[in-house]
A and B are shown apart, each in its own frame.
Chain A
């Protein structure tokens, strides 16, 4: 069981009240422990075969295709339904009803009857049903301008300009990847014990990796249909420079709040990794060179981190500045043995923006795979084991837990409209999570239990009015309305990274901070907020192509090589 143990280490873990502030969560970057990097490391180590197996798509781009990932023990298939979409129907919102392509990941290899069944359901997405043979359901739209440009260039027998590709970074953008149990899919509990799914979200990301392959195959297919005699295939280095986009709204935000014990394990793995690296003595010349190289490559990647959102523009510019300072700081180090990683980390806290500090965390973790990679297998947990409430706990103990772990909440004034400004709810229209203004909109009485800080304070007030000799069970008999936060408080006592140390209903809360944190654990890059509650990202950009997984697998693929950036 993973708790926070610090006694045996001279450098402590960063405390939750430092790590889990929204502002810092909204500055987190991918790391070696991010789920898509874990997936590709497994593909490489176990020599998974990833390939297109079936392609029945017409000249208009309508039809079906199947891709497979074949591992040492099992095979998974991505079934694709490709569409010729009327542009007026192209929306990145969950309220869309038609997409350029829809996908499902099948557990095994589908037969003709499976494909016929999926054909009737997958294109409908939420309005269709999948079964316990399927593991995920998703859809994607073309990034129209870039897609059409690449199609035209390939049809004309030319390669597209790398600089044009880099502006967007992908040909298609997914707008939802539904996993465990959704719309009839198999629940994760039935596959959680498979080795390949020991890290979170591996089946979803397996699907996304194959969707990336499809996004290039379909543009080449259409270019060939346009000009059978002239069309060329996309050059390999350009193919590799394209990831797959994703457009994500509020729907994803409540996940990390609704899965506190799981979230603790994600954060703990990352913090353990950072702590271990900060403790390493005697930086080798090789690792020092790698560090400087990664700073360079990170700077190159930054050149293509585009956003129009003023806040993100400011953050990216601060990060650019931070990376320059970091490079200068490292250049001033004469010998590798003069550099202590803990001092470097401390320097980052003293000198860099939060974006820069969290970027340093990412780079430090990168240096010691032999130390940190073990933590990737500790990022899943059977949450059910921690569901039951310990009713025998004394009320005094519970009150103490609340006042210790949620100290910040007691400094907030929930009588003020600023602190109690918003409410989370599910919309009748699309059953998706939304955030309302409590004092301006209808529906606050149907609020979802995400106002953790406020509810903890309310529960504590109720506890203080009771006899402290009471047990938690007796308290909950009288006050079942406090049950959800009592459960959380007992969990956070054991799993201190389970709770965000901020008010999720404050008037100035930015949901994109929640999204960024979760997506960084997926391994997303190039966060591009479109509003305070909507973000576009890139996944698997620069990732090895299937044929590059087995020989000389480049585990640092996510940092663009200096040459690819120069050519862009």
Chain B
């Protein structure tokens, strides 16, 4: 992560959601997946995790022409394997897919996921939806999501660029504790610049016609 704390922009959670939505759309994700990305970013930021950093890593590393390519699904006796030959998995597409199917109880291995931190909010939704705790392991690091869909431990290591992630059921019942959500999403100037450059691709340059359509074209001196 790029540290330039002096000028770090403290975004609201809604601003981050909207920025990530637009950046992903600008990078080529469908609107529906971009909405998922924005919401995942908000989920991470609320829990004090570096959502902006994770998405910068993703958007810079993933081949954006392959973004929406579906993981190949292989059902094996030992569980479900998700992969994409010769390439890594997109955490937004993979996460949305896992969340859509819901947690079945079967082990899932997702091979070489880019920015695996982004997968966590989707797994949290699955855990909550199934009222099941989940253990998430990734090449030597691990975290646990409680049956309420909340992290029970830190997420160190998941902010790295690419990992194979293994998800298994875990009997973990969360204590009902009030979670202290973060009100701000810090974004460094460098991250902001990258995300905004992707977001910029969703805007349409102004023309005289569009300006005339935007308002009444009157002065306000009446």
List chain A positions with a Cβ less than 8 A from chain B.
87, 90-96, 129, 131-132, 141, 143-145, 173, 175, 180-187, 189-190, 247, 249-250, 384, 387-392, 425-432, 434-437, 440-443, 446, 448-449, 471-473, 476-478, 480-487, 530-531, 533-534
Q: List 19 A-B contacts (CB under 8 A).
A: A92-B216, A92-B219, A94-B215, A144-B220, A183-B15, A184-B10, A184-B12, A388-B129, A391-B102, A426-B204, A427-B205, A427-B214, A435-B213, A471-B101, A476-B100, A480-B96, A482-B30, A533-B213, A533-B215
B99 an interface residue at 8 Å Cβ cutoff?
A: yes
Q: Closest residue to B69 on the A side, CB-wise?
A: A480
Question: Any chain A CB within 8 A of the CB of B4?
Answer: no
Query: Chain A residues near B100 (CB, 8 Å)?
Result: 389-391, 472-473, 476
In the complex, residue of chain B having the shortest beta-carbon distance to the beta carbon of A449: B31
Of the candidates A131, A186, A427, A480, the one whose C-beta lies within 8 Å of that of B68 is A480
The CA of A531 and the CA of B93, in the complex, are separated in Å by: 42
CB contact list, B175-201 vs A, under 8 A: 181, 183-184, 200-201
Residue from the list A95, A129, A428, A487 in contact with B204, Cβ < 8 A: A428
* A484 contacts across to B, CB distance below 8 A: 30-32, 35
Contact in complex: A428, B13 (CB < 8 Å): no
A568 to B73, CA, bound (A): 74
Q: A427-B203, A427-B210 are in contact. Are A388 and B14 (CB under 8 A)?
A: no
Interface residues of B in 88-135 (CB under 8 A from A): 93, 96-97, 99-102, 125, 129
Question: Which residues of the other chain, B, contact A132 by a CB distance below 8 angstroms?
Answer: 10, 12, 183-184
In the bound complex, do residue B32 and residue A446 qualify as a contact, i.e. CB atoms below 8 Å apart? no
* B206: Cβ under 8 A from any A Cβ: yes
Shortest Cβ distance from residue A2 to the other chain B in the assembled complex, whole angstroms: 22
Which residues of chain A have C-beta atoms less than 8 A from B102's C-beta? 391-392
Q: Are A427 and B14 in contact (CB under 8 A)?
A: no
Contacts of B206 in A (CB 8 A): 427-429
Residues of chain B with a CB closer than 8 A to A392's CB = 101-102
For B101, the chain A residues whose CB sits under 8 A away are 391-392, 471, 473
With A187-B14, A427-B204, A483-B33 already in contact, the answer to whether A434 and B70 are too (CB < 8 A) is no
Partner of B202, one of A96, A247, A426, A437: A426
* Shortest beta-carbon distance from A203 to chain B in Å: 14
Taking CB atoms, residues of chain A closer than 8 Å to B97 are 391, 473, 476-477
B14 contacts which chain A residues (CB < 8 A)? 180-182, 187
Nearest CB of B to A196, in Å: 19
B76 on the interface (CB 8 Å rule)?
A: no
Give the total number of A-B pairs whose CB atoms are below 8 A apart.
179
CB proximity of A479 to chain B, nearest CB, Å? 9
Contact A483 B96 (CB under 8 A): yes
| B85 contact set on A, CB distance < 8 A | none
Contact A173 B202 (CB under 8 A): no
The contact string, 1 if C-beta is below 8 Å from chain A, for chain B 125-162, is 10001000000000000000000000000000000000
B17 closest partner in A (C-beta): A181
In whole angstroms, how far apart are the Cα atoms of A160 and B36 in the complex? 56
Bound-state CA distance A432–B219 (Å) is 19
Q: A181-B12, A190-B183 are in contact. Are A436 and B213 (CB under 8 A)?
A: yes
Q: Is the CB of B202 within 8 A of A388?
A: no
Residue pair B222, A144 in contact (C-beta under 8 Å):
yes
Which A-B residue pairs are the 10 nearest by beta carbons? A483-B32, A391-B100, A181-B14, A443-B204, A530-B216, A181-B12, A473-B100, A429-B206, A428-B203, A484-B32
User: Across the interface, which residues of A come within 8 angstroms of B11, CB to CB?
Assistant: 184
Q: Does B207 contact A (CB under 8 A)?
A: yes
> Which chain A residues lie closer than 8 Å to B32 at the CB level?
449, 476, 480-487
Check A187 against B12 for contact (C-beta < 8 Å). yes
**B163 at interface by CB-CB < 8 Å:** no
Q: Are B31 and A443 in contact (CB-based, < 8 A)?
A: no
Determine the residue in chain A with the shortest Cβ distance to B210: A434
Asked if A186 contacts B214 (CB within 8 A), the reply is: no
CB nearest neighbor in A for B212: A531
CA distance A481 to B33 in the complex (A): 8
Q: Which of the residues B12, B31, B184 comes within 8 Å of A182, measured between beta carbons?
A: B12
| Residue with the greatest number of chain B CB neighbours at <10 A, chosen from A132, A388, A389 | A388
Contact for B215 among A93, A143, A182, A473, CB less than 8 A = A93
- A426 engages B203 (CB within 8 Å): yes
* Pairwise interchain contact B99-A391, C-beta atoms closer than 8 A: yes
Nearest B residue to A443 via CB reads B204
Report chain B residues within 8 Å CB of A250: 213-214
B65 proximal to A (CB < 8 A): no
CA distance A442 to B206 in the complex (A): 9
User: B13 near A478 (CB under 8 angstroms)?
Assistant: no
Contact partners of B216 in chain A: CB under 8 A: 92, 249, 530-531, 534
User: Does B99 contact A94, Cβ atoms closer than 8 Å?
Assistant: no
Quick one: closest B residue to A532, CB to CB?
A: B213
Nearest chain A CB to B47's CB is how many angstroms away? 13
B64 smallest CB distance to A (angstroms): 14
Residues of A within 8 A of B2 (CB): none
Q: Please determine whether A387 and B211 come into contact, CB atoms closer than 8 angstroms.
A: no
8 other A-B residue contacts (CB within 8 Å) besides A132-B183, A180-B12, A431-B203: A181-B12, A247-B220, A391-B101, A428-B203, A446-B201, A472-B100, A481-B32, A482-B30
